[in-house]
């Protein structure tokens, strides 16, 4: 465990927890720096099918630890180093082939919202709050994170978040396309894990291949390339395809083996 961040495994589910509840899980430079290695470990682990991101206590995350900025971002070189750590964390999450699910309660603001947007799915408890606040700090937002946000909520809502820095509640966030589902606070955990179990029951060859293709499209790719062709060819010649077709014809649940 890196200070402030923890990875636990429970069967096929890995859980990354931001664990600084006394600071509303504000993300330190060390935490940003640790995320790419954690994500790489999850991707390599054949026993894990899904990564769940959450926060300890009552909040997902109030954002980057602004208390570090005076020391770590006081110069152009310092700001560049800090930004590279944030960008690497976001890129690691966004490029995962295994699906990632942000399970959100309380505040999901600034860098916390940036991590949630980089995840594949976002499930929120009623009463959660969302906002992205570079305009309150004199920062111009990271390009890839802006693109991810625009792909989720469209340019008009992306401007609303980024230019105003205003917070919205979970219901409004769902209406804007930022959140997939909103649940009563007491049902968030089980509802999220129920969805995670659904992902685990599907063909992992399909999920990882399609997740890779979606990532390429979000990044601006307009036409299939050789990797896309290889992914699709490998799937149709794979064990999961044979099992999926057989299960459909035999009217039984499939038993996928690819991990």
pLDDT tens per residue across span 118-149: 999 999 999 999 999 999 989 999 999 999 99
Query: Distance (Å, rounded) from C-alpha 44 to C-alpha 51?
Result: 12
Give the model's pLDDT for residue 258: 74
| pLDDT tens-digit series, residues 13-26 | 999 999 999 999 99
| pLDDT tens-digit series, residues 163-216 | 999 999 999 999 999 999 999 999 999 999 999 999 999 999 999 999 999 999
Q: State in Å, rounded, how far the first CA of the chain is from the last one.
A: 25
Contact by Cβ (8 Å): 35, 93: yes
**96 pLDDT above the threshold of 90:** yes
**89 pLDDT above the threshold of 70:** yes
Per-residue pLDDT band for 2 (boundaries 50, 70, 90) equals confident
Cα torsion 30, 105, 218, 139 to 10°: value is -50
Distance (Å) of CA 40 to CA 99, 233, 257: 13, 26, 22
Give the model's pLDDT for residue 1: 64
Give the model's pLDDT for residue 69: 84
Contact by Cβ (8 Å): 170, 70: no
Q: What is the DSSP letter of 187?
A: G
By the 10 Å C-beta count (0-12 exposed, 13-18 middle, 19+ buried), 90 is classed as buried
**10 pLDDT above the threshold of 80:** yes
Mean pLDDT (the chain, rounded)? 95
Residue count of the chain: 259
Q: Which of these, 76, 88, 64, 72, lies nearest to 137 by C-alpha position?
A: 64
Query: Distance (Å, rounded) from C-alpha 245 to C-alpha 227?
Result: 24
Query: Distance (Å, rounded) from C-alpha 206 to C-alpha 203?
Result: 5
Mean pLDDT of 47-75: 92
**32 pLDDT above the threshold of 70:** yes
């Amino acid at each position: 465990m890196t200070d402030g961040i923890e990875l636990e495994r429970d069967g096929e589910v890995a859980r990354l927890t931001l664990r600084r509840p006394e600071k509303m899980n504000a993300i330190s430079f060390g935490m940003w720096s640790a995320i790419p290695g954690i994500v790489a470990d999850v991707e390599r682990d054949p026993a894990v099918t899904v990564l769940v991101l959450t926060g300890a206590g009552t909040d997902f995350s109030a954002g980057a630890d602004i208390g570090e900025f005076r020391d770590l971002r006081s110069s152009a070189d310092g700001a560049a180093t800090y930004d590279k750590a944030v960008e690497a964390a976001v890129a690691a999450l966004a490029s995962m082939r295994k699906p990632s699910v942000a399970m959100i309660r309380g505040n999901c603001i600034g860098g916390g919202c940036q991590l949630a947007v980089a995840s594949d799915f976002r499930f929120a408890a009623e009463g959660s709050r969302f906002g992205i606040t570079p305009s309150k700090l004199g920062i111009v937002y990271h390009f890839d994170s802006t693109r991810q946000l625009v792909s989720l909520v469209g340019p008009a809502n992306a401007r609303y978040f980024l230019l105003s820095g205003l917070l919205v509640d979970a219901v409004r966030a769902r209406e804007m396309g930022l959140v997939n589902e909103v649940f009563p606070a007491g049902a968030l955990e089980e509802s999220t894990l129920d969805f995670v179990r659904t992902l685990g029951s599907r063909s992992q060859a399909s999920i990882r291949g399609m997740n890779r293709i979606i990532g390429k499209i979000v990044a601006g790719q307009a036409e299939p390339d050789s990797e896309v062709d290889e992914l699709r060819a490998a799937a149709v010649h794979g064990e999961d395809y044979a099992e999926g077709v057989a299960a459909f014809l035999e009217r039984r649940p499939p038993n996928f083996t690819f991990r």
